[in-house]
Structure 1
Amino acid sequence: MSSYYDDLETRSADARAAALAEALPGQIARAQGLPGYAQSLAGVDAARVTDRAALAKLPVLRKAALVSAQGAAAPFGGYAAKPAHGFAHVFQSPGPIYEPGGSDHDWWRLGRFLYACGIGPGDVVQNCFGYHLTPAGMIFENGARAVGAAVLPAGTGQTELQARAAHDVGVTAYAGTPDYLKLILEKADEMGLGLGIARAAVSGGALFPSLRQYYADRGIACRQCYATADLGMVAYESEAMEGMIADEQVIVEIVTPGTGDPVAPGEVGEVVVTTLNPDYPLIRFATGDLSAVLPGESPCGRTNLRIKGWMGRADQTAKIKGMFVRPEQVAALVAKHAEIDRARVVASREGEMDVMTVRIETEAEDPGAYAGSVAEVLKLKGIVELVKPGGLPRDGVVIEDVREYD
């Protein structure tokens, strides 16, 4: 079995840039032909969108806008290249929000991750992701087929039957949430059943170091990927287990929450993804997740951009004094004053009352100069504190809620 899924994983920086310059204009042009992008991409010269810098000038597509568009034009809101009947599957995720799915070879691109896990011909994968309405089960099944593995479509629940099936069928690999495999193993122990699971491909939850070590102690190599129902795979772990490597068919950006502005290298921000899938061309889709770019290349030899993995949620909307304050408003406050580098809203309590403190990073020295803008943009009066440039943490947090409710 080769070390790599294909030659794309070890491309040089120049080869990646050339491939992006070729693929990105076509994807932007495809998107412009869809009703969902009629306004947001109007006037954009697709032929000039050939690199990350040009891509970063385009508007961000947020899930709330997608949900709203689907409400007006069900089921895909004008963002899919085919009607519902043109896809192999249509899924419904909580929201509700609808996602298309294909049965083509590696449509969601999970095969790359499963290959990196060492899964391939001769393996039987017990797929414990859900198959009902939501797409995770089919996403991983499609990936398993791409690497030539057989699938036991186990779905969720019924742990005793899961343990029995894993034993009887001779399951060698697990796909599912990080914690559920432990329940299957413990149930098998209780039933006196020996299992041959040697690899685990997990997603959809936190993989704590102690849990990964538990699996290692049982001879199971456990790796995780970052995937979403809308985008398919975004990034995945390799044998190096140093961050997550971006998939070869997406462009990953890290931006300041509430904006589309890329952060400085290494800073925490919101994950924004552009997919090169022609069937569902999501352009600068905001995931709502926080992460950061890791410097350099993976020790495993894969050369694509790496991220640290999931680091929290970017949607830090907080209700203060009965009013919602959103990251987009904080970004608008920063944009209103050229001398402001960044800002951070802190929600706290004094007695039984909410308190909003707005910490502004600037060389200016008069907090009162910003009181009017704070009230205008955030729709609330608050305490303004000024800090020198570099004085706010680079942790991706723009709204910090420190209130405690006993």
Structure 2
Amino acid sequence: MRYYDGLETQTSEQRAAYIAEALPAQIAHAKQLPGYADRFERVTASEITDVQALATLPVLRKSELSNAQKPGNILGGFVQKPLYEFSHIFQSPGPLYEPGGTGHDWWRMGRFLHAAGIGRGDIVQNCFGYHLTPAGMIFENGARAVGAAVLPAGVGQTDLQVRAAVDIGTTAYAGTPDYLKVILDKADEMGESLSIRKAVVGGGALFPALRQEYTDRGIACLQCYATADLGNIAYESSAQEGMIVDEGVLVEIVTPGTGTPVADGEVGEVVVTVLNPDYPLIRFATGDLSAVLPGKSPCGRSNLRIKGWMGRADQTTKIKGMFVRPEQVAALVASHDALDRARIIARRNGAKDEMIVQLETTLSAASDFDGLVKSHLKLTGNVELVAPGSLPRDGLVIEDQRVYE
């Protein structure tokens, strides 16, 4: 079967109808949870039927999730089921706790593995960690969804990994992009030939040169974009033209530090809404940068595509001993009707920090904004007024030009 299911090739009208049914139901479910009680108090679930309406809801940040997690309420009131009804409870750095399930494709990774050609008859050497964090179980759950067997290898003991791959005849690899090369090089050193012909990777950058090396070895390697909180968000297909958003999530690209969507093609922060009622994260800010790609994938899958991971959105920068955050820059822009966009530049002027505040506006008196800058950024800076549309649309609202050598 070419596609995982019929959702992948929906028309835009079919997908809109699907979202119009699933999204209000998820919002209504979330409104019943303590974690959303205040933030959704005035939200009418039946009115949230598309991503445009979704954009009116507040963004949920990881720091808010972490702050809500307390002993006795370790998932912060963002789930309905008691802890013991989940299959797994994971701990990610922070610490931040996440629930996990073993139901069919609970993490939505099966769609990616299917796109990579993995299925019944394959044995996946799963080299993601199984200790505390969920990556290992995320990929194992996906492998089960497509009917593949799993060698739960984890990380390390590479000589034993090679021995197992040879003895079992593993046909596919799951893990970080770099570790597959470690295994292959160790196999060469041991004089062994492996049967791995497919690789699904995440958790790090898959550089073109490394992908080409795998291709030269006869291994088709594709990557996904997933997080411990959300599971799979987007994935590559054989077309290798951007990442296709999974059918179980809604993705928005917003100006960092805000919940305001950017124009298609502009770089911004990835905000994700999950349609899984077990853990309904609504407008969850990943802190990652990406951008929407136009059109649909040549592979025939019709959902939204993004460029993949393009860096971190958290641009908090210390200038003159004070932290300046994207949220402050967003508040500065919102405070004056004549401001369209802002960019803060930190640089050195001799032995001192200097802050340049570039503001897109049709006004001409820079001094008119000195008070607003001081009020919102808590610092004085050199205000430069620029024409609307002239600032780069690269996702940066704070640019640090200082050289640390």
TM-score range, shorter chain: over 0.9
Q: Residue type matched to 1:8 in 2?
A: L
1:260 maps to a residue whose letter is G
Residue 404 (structure 1) aligns with: 403
1:327-358 Cα deviation digits (max 9, x unpaired): 00000000001111100011111222111111
1:168-187 superposed matches below 5 A: 168-187=167-186
CA–CA separation in structure 2 for the residues paired with 1:401 and 1:64: 23
Matches within 5 A, 1:197-276: 197-276=196-275
Q: What is the deviation of 1:397?
A: 0.3
Which runs of 5 or more structure 1 residues have no equivalent in the other structure? Answer: none
* Deviation by residue 1:138-162 (Cα, 9 ceiling, x = unmatched): 0000000000000000001111111
What is the CA deviation profile of residues 273-299 of structure 1, one whole-angstrom value per residue up to 9, with x for unaligned ones?
000000000000000000000000100
Q: Which secondary structure does the structure 2 equivalent of 1:340 belong to?
A: coil
Looking at structure 2, the residues matched to 69 and 335 of structure 1 have their Cα atoms a distance apart, in angstroms, of: 28
Divergent runs of 4+, >2 A: 71-74
What does residue 288 of structure 1 align with?
287
How far apart in 2 are the matches of 1:356 and 1:40? 35
**In structure 1, what is the Cα distance between the partners aligned to 2:393 and 2:404?**
27
Alignment of 1:316-331 (within 5 A): 316-331=315-330
Quick one: distance in 2 between partners of 1:326 and 1:83? 36
Letter in 1 for 2:178: D
| Sequence identity (%) | 71
The reply on whether 1:16 has 2:15 as its aligned counterpart is yes
The structural deviation recorded for 1:323 is 1.0
Q: Partner of 1:71: helix, strand, or coil?
A: coil
- Tell me how far apart the structure 2 counterparts of residues 322 and 164 of structure 1 sit (CA, whole Å): 54
SS at match of 2:345: strand
Q: How many residues matched?
A: 405
Give the aligned partner of residue 133 of structure 2.
Answer: 134
Q: 1:400 to 1:73 in 2, by over 3 A?
A: farther
Larger deviation, residues 235-244 vs 158-167: 158-167
Q: How big is the shift at 1:232?
A: 0.6
Aligned position for 2:2: 3
1:102 aligns with 2:101: yes
Aligned partner letter, 1:128: C
Match for residue 393 of structure 2? Answer: 394
Partners of 1:302 and 1:15 lie apart in 2 by: 13
1:365 corresponds to: 364
Q: What pairs with 1:61-76 in structure 2 (closer than 5 Å)?
A: 61-71=60-70, 74-76=73-75
Query: What pairs with 1:372-387 in structure 2 (closer than 5 Å)?
Result: 372-387=371-386
Render the CA deviation track for 1:44-71: whole Å, top value 9, x for unaligned: 0001111111101000000010010113
Distance 1:239 1:134 in 2: 29
Distance 1:383 1:138 in 2: 51
Say which is worse superposed, 176-185 or 349-358, in terms of deviation: 349-358
Deviation, structure 1 residue 74: 3.2
Alignment-mate amino acid for residue 176 of structure 2? T
User: Aligned partners of 1:305, 1:313: CA distance in 2, in Å?
Assistant: 21
Cα distance in structure 1, aligned partners of 2:359 and 2:391 = 8
The equivalent of 2:150 in structure 1 is: 151
- In the alignment, which residue of structure 2 is the partner of 1:115? 114
In structure 1, give the amino acid aligned to 2:278: D
For residues 183-225 of structure 1, what are the alpha-carbon distances to aligned partners after superposition, in whole Å with 9 as ceiling and x for unaligned? 0000000000110000000000000000000000000000000
1:189 and 1:122 map into 2 onto residues whose CA distance is 25
The verdict on how the C-alpha distance between 1:71 and 1:383 changes in structure 2, with shifts beyond 3 A counting, is farther
1:346 and 2:342 are equivalent in the alignment: no
Q: Distance in 2 between matches of 1:339 and 1:159?
A: 60
* Greater shift in the superposed pair: 64-73 or 236-245: 64-73
Distance in 1 (CA, whole Å) between partners of 2:341 and 2:185 is 49
The separation in 2 between residues aligned to 1:205 and 1:240, in whole angstroms, is: 20
Measure the CA separation in 2 of the matches of 1:80 and 1:204.
26
**1:155-166 map, 5 Å:** 155-166=154-165
How far did 1:73 drift?
Answer: 5.8
Query: Which digits, 9 at most, give the CA deviation of each residue in 1:257-312, with x for residues without a partner?
Result: 11101101111100000000000000000000000000001000000000000011
CA deviation profile, 1:72-101 (whole Å, cap 9, x unmatched) = 763110111212111000000001000000
Q: Secondary structure at the match of 1:369?
A: helix
Name the SS of the counterpart of 2:26 in structure 1.
Answer: helix
Q: Which moved more, 1:327-336 or 1:355-364?
A: 355-364
Shift, 1:168, TM fit: 1.0
Using structure 2 for the length normalisation, give the TM-score: 0.99
Distance 1:376 1:253 in 2: 30
How far has the Cα of 1:226 moved from its partner?
0.3
- Computed over aligned residues only, the root mean square deviation of the Cα atoms, in angstroms, reads 0.8
Task: Letter of the 1:301 partner, please give it.
Answer: G
2-structure distance, mates of 1:90, 1:242: 35
Amino acid at match of 1:248: E
Q: Secondary structure at the match of 1:343?
A: strand
Offset of residue 314 of structure 1:
0.6
1:179 is paired with a residue whose SS is: helix
